[in-house]
Amino acid sequence: MFRYLTLAVTLGLITPPVFAEDISLYGAGSLKAALSDVVETYSEVYGTPVATRFGPSGLMRERIEAGDAVHVFASANMRHPRTLEAAGRGGPVVLFARNQLCALARPEVSITTDTLLEVMLDDDTRLGTSTPKADPSGDYAFELFDKTDHADVLKAKALQLTGGPDSAKAPEGRNSYAWVLDSDQADVFLTYCTNAVLARKEVPELQIVTVPEALSVGADYGLIVLDDAPEAAWTLAMYILSPAGQSVLADYGFDAAAVMKGD
């Protein structure tokens, strides 16, 4: 389906009319900057306003299940949209971007890719993650722990500081991960590499540490159009999948080009 939609948009075979009906998109928090740009351009091109809401994918899925009127859902994993698909709420689910985990560290922490595991295991290191089940970033962090011989130790010490229903919120206008480290809540935080880049733009002193290949964890992002969505919602989904939308995602550090090549 992805190849067909991309080809159709590229060749101009799909040229939908201007839609008057507003549409809504829920997306993973890590997609906020990129998809906000995509949506802005889409609205300019098609004249269709899009209401957006971003947050932990698991909590976004729960809001949809609870009855929020949502037309397009862009998740930081495949499981949440597939859960909606399995429940007969929409589909099909399409892979539209990939991400990776990185470590974000305070400036005074002595850390490299080679010493990342040692530093995380150090009793003096406050290790932060997002909240598993509520936020895929937390699930991916715990998946990384499972690749070590110290999974139980790391999971026990992990401070689940973001992404949960009761997590403290960053002040308005602040990057959540920059704020967590800048306010001294953790020494090292595992998050998406795209989030780490945005955090260091806000606090340049922060360190971004590449995860060693043996522990590397990839994140597959899934897109679904919900049942009873207006035609414009399908056009938005196709725009996200189009070279124009994929290019914006790539500009923000997502591995979108690989998806377009079918890798």
Domains and CATH numbers, the chain: 2-98+220-260 (3.40.190.10), 99-215 (3.40.190.10)
Give residue 256's pLDDT.
Answer: 86
As given in the structure block, the two tokens for residue 230 are 């207006």
pTM: 0.85
For residues 112 and 6, what is the distance between their CA atoms, to the nearest angstrom?
40
Give residue 2's pLDDT.
Answer: 40
Give residue 7's pLDDT.
Answer: 40
Among the listed residues 28, 51, 12, 48, the one whose alpha carbon sits nearest the alpha carbon of residue 162: 28
Distance from CA of residue 62 to its chain's centroid?
16
Give residue 16's pLDDT.
Answer: 44
For 65, list phi and psi in degrees, rounded to 5.
-65, -30
For residues 143 and 5, what is the distance between their CA atoms, to the nearest angstrom?
32
Place of tokens 């997502």: 254
DSSP-derived pairing of the beta strands 94-105 and 207-210: antiparallel
Give the type of residue at 145: F
Q: From the first residue on, what is the mean pLDDT of each consecutive set of 10 residues in the chain (263 residues)? A: 41 43 92 97 95 97 96 98 98 96 98 98 98 97 98 98 96 95 98 96 98 96 97 96 95 77 46
Give the type of residue at 41: T
